[in-house]
């Protein structure tokens, strides 16, 4: 469907018995014409003009599209490809993208609020300062995505991979992330206030000064991450693992650490005031200089001879110690 419902799809229709092979896909000029027709008709539809039709593109492939600030709110795209497109500042609220390719696209400052992306490719795309508040992204590929300052508040992100993605300063307030992967990514200064992360993996990811205040981080794995200066105040970290992470100066005050593992992690200068450490696992953790971590809290946690206690002595923590 190409904006005008009479053009049901630019892809070839299946061959019927007794008929020849499928016609070829539209060439670049024809595809560009279909796009322009859909854009004009959709604009009329948005304005309430009687001759307008909602943009519904299926199977269209158009490289290096130039449509900055396009008005595409509530448009639908299925199995379409727009590699290296220029859609800077486009209005993409409540759009639907299923099995679409937007690799290398410039989507900076786009408004994606309420959009739905299913199995979409955003590899090496630019989403700097883009807004995806309330968006839904399922099984998307965001390898080498460049999205500093992007906003994902209240978004729902499921089984999406952010390999080598750049997301410094991104805002994920109250977002829900399920089974997502951040590998070799940059989340420095990212904001996860009251976000919910479940079964997510963060591998070799930079997240210095990231804020996870009052977030629910359940059964997630942080491996070899740089979390120095991160804020986890009041966060629920149940069943999560911090493996060989740098967590110097982290704020864990009031955090729920039941079943949380810190094997091989460095927590020098981290703050634990009011943290619930019952069932926390500090074996192989370096707690030298940790602040507000009391002996009572340590006795509730699991420590052994591989633990370095806050005063520099090896564990395990025992009654009557300093």
For the stretch 245-279, pLDDT in tens is 999 999 999 999 999 999 999 999 999 999 999 99
Q: CA 30, CA 12: separation in Å to the nearest integer?
A: 13
Unique residue bearing structure tokens 């959009």: 115
Indicate whether 168 pLDDT > 80: yes
Query: Residues 6 or more apart from 175 whose CB is under 8 A from it?
Result: 152, 153, 154, 155, 156, 157, 192, 195, 196
Query: Residues 6 or more apart from 204 whose CB is under 8 A from it?
Result: 183, 184, 223, 224, 225
Instruction: Supply the CATH number for residue 231's domain.
Output: 2.160.20.80
Note whether residue 102 is domain-resident: yes
Whether the full predicted model's pTM is greater than 0.75, yes or no, is: yes
237 and 310 together in one domain = yes
Indicate whether 20 pLDDT > 90: no
Note whether residue 268 is domain-resident: yes
State the pLDDT confidence band at 26, using cuts at 50, 70 and 90: low
pLDDT digits (tens, 9 = 90+) for 129-150: 999 999 999 999 999 999 999 9
The three-class DSSP label of residue 77 is strand
Considering only 9-13, 111-115, 305-309, which range has the smallest mean pLDDT? 9-13
What's the mean per-residue pLDDT of the chain? 92
Q: What total of structural domains would you count in the chain?
A: 2
156 and 228 together in one domain = no
CB 269 within 8 A of CB 290: yes
The three-class DSSP label of residue 37 is helix
CB 130 within 8 A of CB 147: yes
Which of 172, 203, 220 marks a domain boundary?
172
Note whether residue 70 is domain-resident: yes
SS (H, E, C) 91-147: ECCCCEEECCECCCCECCCCECCCCEEECCECCCCECCCCECCCCEEECCECCCCEC
The three-class DSSP label of residue 160 is coil
Rg (CA), the chain: 25
Indicate whether 224 pLDDT > 60: yes
**Average pLDDT estimate for 290-300:** 95
Higher pLDDT, 13 or 60: 60
pLDDT of the residue at 21: 54
**Average pLDDT estimate for 283-301:** 96
CB 25 within 8 A of CB 2: no
216 and 322 together in one domain = yes
What is the signed CA dihedral for 213, 218, 223, 225, rounded to 10 degrees? -10
Indicate whether 1 pLDDT > 60: no
224 and 134 together in one domain = no
Query: Residues 6 or more apart from 287 whose CB is under 8 A from it?
Result: 267, 268, 270, 293, 307, 308, 309, 310
Which of 172, 192, 225 marks a domain boundary?
172
Note whether residue 202 is domain-resident: no
Structure tokens at 131: 């807004």
Q: For the sheet with 241-243, list strands across it.
A: 161-163, 181-183, 201-203, 221-223, 241-243
Note whether residue 183 is domain-resident: no
Which of 172, 202, 225 marks a domain boundary?
172
Indicate whether 106 pLDDT > 90: yes
Indicate whether 316 pLDDT > 80: yes
88 and 143 together in one domain = yes
Unique residue bearing structure tokens 């739905």: 116
77 and 167 together in one domain = yes
301 and 216 together in one domain = yes
Identify the helix (H) or strand (E) that includes residue 42. Answer: helix 28-46
Considering only 44-48, 120-124, 189-193, which range has the smallest mean pLDDT? 44-48
pLDDT of the residue at 28: 85
CB 239 within 8 A of CB 222: no
pLDDT of the residue at 10: 40
* Partners of 106 in the β-ladder: 86, 126
pLDDT of the residue at 306: 97
**Percent of the residues in the chain that have a pLDDT greater than 70, as a whole number:** 92
Note whether residue 12 is domain-resident: no
Note whether residue 21 is domain-resident: no
pLDDT digits (tens, 9 = 90+) for 228-251: 999 999 999 999 999 999 999 999
Indicate whether 201 pLDDT > 70: yes
Q: CA 246, CA 228: separation in Å to the nearest integer?
A: 6
Note whether residue 224 is domain-resident: yes
66 and 150 together in one domain = yes
**Domain assignment of residue 248, given as a range:** 212-322
């Amino acid at each position: 469907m190409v904006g005008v419902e009479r053009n049901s799809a630019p892809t070839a229709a299946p061959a019927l018995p007794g008929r020849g092979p499928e016609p070829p896909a539209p060439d670049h000029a024809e595809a560009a014409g279909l796009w322009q027709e859909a854009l004009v008709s959709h604009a009329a539809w948005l304005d309430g003009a009687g001759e307008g039709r909602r943009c519904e593109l299926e199977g269209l492939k158009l490289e290096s599209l130039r449509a900055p600030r396009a008005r595409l709110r509530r448009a639908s795209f299925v199995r379409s490809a727009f590699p290296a497109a220029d859609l800077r500042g486009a209005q993409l609220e409540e759009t639907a993208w299923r099995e679409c390719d937007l690799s290398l696209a410039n989507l900076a400052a786009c408004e994606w609020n309420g959009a739905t992306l299913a199995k979409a490719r955003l590899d090496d795309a630019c989403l700097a300062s883009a807004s995806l508040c309330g968006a839904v992204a399922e099984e998307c590929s965001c390898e080498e995505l460049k999205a500093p300052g992007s906003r994902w508040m209240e978004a729902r992100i499921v089984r999406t991979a952010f390999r080598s993605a750049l997301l410094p300063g991104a805002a994920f307030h109250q977002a829900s992330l399920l089974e997502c992967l951040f590998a070799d990514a940059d989340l420095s200064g990212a904001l996860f206030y009251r976000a919910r992360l479940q079964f997510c993996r963060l591998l070799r990811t930079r997240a210095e000064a990231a804020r996870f205040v009052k977030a629910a981080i359940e059964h997630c794995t942080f491996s070899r991450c740089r979390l120095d200066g991160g804020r986890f105040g009041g966060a629920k970290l149940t069943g999560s693992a911090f493996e060989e992470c740098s967590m110097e100066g982290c704020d864990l005050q009031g955090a729920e650490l039941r079943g949380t593992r810190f094997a091989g992690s460095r927590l020098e200068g981290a703050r634990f005031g009011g943290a619930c450490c019952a069932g926390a696992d500090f074996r192989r953790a370096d707690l030298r200089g940790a602040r507000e971590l009391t002996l009572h809290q340590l006795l509730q946690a699991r420590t052994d001879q591989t633990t370095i206690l806050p005063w520099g002595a090896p564990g395990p923590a025992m009654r009557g110690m300093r």
